[in-house]
Structure 1
């Protein structure tokens, strides 16, 4: 169970291997946004999200209105169109009745009613739909139609007498009616079918050059035909006009039939009956047009009034059906688009409601999760590290929750690591205290002590110090052994040099004695020269003297042989002493290297102690003591090296002088041997002195010369003995110095306690 850890301590300890993530700073938001809560910000974003939705819905509704409004206008203008077409049919019936000289009262009454109805429609402001374009259409028609003039023109036509010529008058009033009808269709977009193709085809079949145009042209053709039958003047012009009307009507029949056929293809269920009626009308019109074409050509063809009436009735019936189909198509179109608008509106409202619910739901979940994160983050800040949030989503909040859990886990790990480091630091401090006690003992000279090697960072240092102590103890043991060896060698050298000195003194004494004897021999030989005549006696005395001299010379040769052996032994011992001094030099070099390594280890230990902080302070003192001891050892080895070099130089001088003495002793020995041979010759001469008396003088002279040479050789031997004695004295002094140096080294090493 983790303890509560202050957040400042946790924040000061980043996870190992990780660095604080840093990224580009976000731009500063307006202060009023920063003062909003997350829920308010998300709600504001959702509200802003709905603004374009409302704008799009409004734009879609406006677009739908622009599509439906022309169709609605075309459908709602049909009462104006029907009133106008009723007026045209009444004028047509009035014209035909007047032409047939029947009473036109009924037709006139219908025309007046239709004209009154059209005026009432134009003057009315009533509208069944608040968004209907009909009021705007009325205002436009009142400005463009000049209905008062139109009414006056129609009334003048209605006031014509029944017997008058109505061809030109009908053409004028019919043009006025067609103009009104054209203005009505243009103002309401009916001429374009309100933008709907089927309505366009139906209005094309019913109005303009369709059924209503066909009807007025048929009436006008009947008027011309009637005038031709009565034989009115200008028959040629009437035939031309009649022929043009027949051609135009034929075209209108074809165009109307084509328009209705096209409407059938688009709305077969609605326009199939219209197509059938149109086919019947086409057949009937073919007969009428044939008669009219014959009349126009002057062939005398005639058309009965009954046939004209049936065609007009057929046109009226077909027009009524087409007009009804046109109105129904407009209503259907409006109903369809209204239904689509309602459906789209309901779908939009449903989607908006679902989006609103989803947004509120998401906001609630986000705010709930953020509040949960905030609460747990505050608890984490207060030091409660035992926190783990459930991850219920895979979005950014889920990633944030996972990161929060990882951060909490990392903080727990950091807290555990801090506690572990504290315990390890405590153990390290205890180990350092124990090792300081050991190093104090080592610093006092007890090299048998060893530190305990642990698994922490101090273990390597302790192991290195133990190894250094082992090497230092081994080196000091070698130094002690070398010191003892040097001391023994120096003592042996003192004994040897004393023996050499005694032999040199003996050699000098013997040489002096030989010199005295040679003087005596010289004196005897000289006297023997003076006493040549008593040569026999003198020869015997000389023989005796020569024998004595030969014996003395033999003793001298033996002494010189001993001197040569002693000098050779001294030379060998001095060489051995030189070799030992070289070994001591190697040991001193080893001690110097160990002192340098000890100094480096002490410096490294001081650096490690400084890195350990206060806990390594005592260890730093010990390392400094070790470093000072290494410096002292290095200085001592430097002095020892200097002394050994001095001893080696002096030993080398002694060796050179000993070798020179040996050569001189050997030369004296050879000279002494030569003297012995001469003395032997003297004996032989003395034996033959009796026989050779006359040659005594010459022989004596030769003996004197030989004795003088012997005397010179003896003097040389004496000088060599003296020089040997001086060299031996120098060697003795050097050995004494070496012994004193070894004694000092033993005294310095006595403070160390070395392992057995």
Structure 2
């Protein structure tokens, strides 16, 4: 009997099995060690991953600082500050340099979502930089878009922290330190930067200087200061927790944290006292900006030192973990090795106590295998091996008894087998009328079954002969029918090929029509564009003529006012002329009195003569001025008449241009209708061509199907011919058997 409970251990000796048992027993001891070692290695890998993430996090925060500076300078430059533009260009260059630096290291960090977020930030930066360069945005809009860009940087920073697992650091001291330095402090810096911008705008407002800040500005500044204050308190709490868990951090980062928090609180107090709660704003804007700039820079300086402290803390954690891991590993390994040696010695002793009796029993079995049937084990022990020896002796006795019975039965069985073989030999000669003798031994059922097989085989072969004849007849009929179907398939194939050619020609014609319609559509669209340009030109001409008409009218008014002023000058000249006439008369009277006075009035006579000459000169001058004024009035009247004629011509030109514009509009509408009609034709022809292509494809499918049908029918005809031949061979093969004459 074959042993049916074999396994992997059946090939091992008992000593080897016990040794294996010792090894297996040490596995539960080694498993906790392995789990501890794996956990510590995983902790080291996580810490190393976090430490690697500090580099892109620091670069992202540097970009944040530069973008904040660029945001303020862009706002100032677009607001009209000439010095700010040069500084903005420098800030833009720094941002571009930081972006290029981040691009070099970004492929080394396969953080989920980082590539998409970084690409979105770069695209938005390029777009905003172009808008700022072209000055197409207002200052407030630039500030808003640049603030959105800052939020993109915060998104990148969050993805870096999540990808490097710093947002879920397992150690309390580094977790709180990361939250304070890399999460809260950048948010504080952004709140301070926004408060700096809003506060500077309020301080620059003349209205706010006298009446105080508006309610909206107060609310916004209050929100920003409250947010930075809350974040500062949370950061302080986080640092205190980190220091509590690891006191060595106090000398490294605690003092700098207190300074950064104090600066944030001072800026909040400055904004609250000088702007939010002040009735009149007197604080200098430049001092406000200087203090805030210093505060924001101090926040980023704290971030830099904080990142250095975090990196050093990661180094310390990795080193301490490795030291503790190796120490624990070697101590545990030594203990397990000692236990293993002791267990091996005990297993060796137990193995010898079992294997020695088994070796004796094996020796007895070897003697029996050599032909000594009288040998017996005779083991006197009462353990399992003793019971095995006694059972072995009983098995040997029974084996001898059974062997004698088997020898007598073999003779009888051999005679029956010889008779059965003779019957089988006759059946092998295709004589199915032969029957075997049914004995009462073990060969009886075999003989009976052989006789039944001969009967059933004879019946089956008789049916096979009949079926073979029927198959031959049907095969010939199928052969004739296949020939007819093949002829029909050949005709159908030719018709399908002709239809496919005609559909292909029709499809090509529809495609040509679609191309012509598309070309007409493009030409019509181009005509619409040219008409639109001509219409815009006419409208521009009308606007230019209207401007000229308004200018001429204004000139006409000014010339009329000039004429009025010249008339006033004429009145003044007449007045001066009257004064000159009177002065002349007075001079004559004075000359007459001076002459009557004699020698005493000679000096007065000289003065009277000079006055008379002056009066004559004044009269001559007034005559010339009057003549010039009259000429100016005449020229002014002629100019006004000419301008009126020009205005009339301009009005007529305006009417003609407007009529031309209306006709252009009608032409454009007509062309647009034409484009719509051509577009419909193009779409219809395109759809028709697509339908024709589908019909061609279907015709080709039908053609291929008909070819395949024809080929299959050809193959079927060949198989039918073969079937006829096989039926003939089947009838011939069955004919070689000798069958009974009557089979009931």
Return the TM-score normalized by structure 2. Answer: 0.41
- Return the index of the structure with the highest Cα Rg: 1
Return the TM-score normalized by structure 1. Answer: 0.41
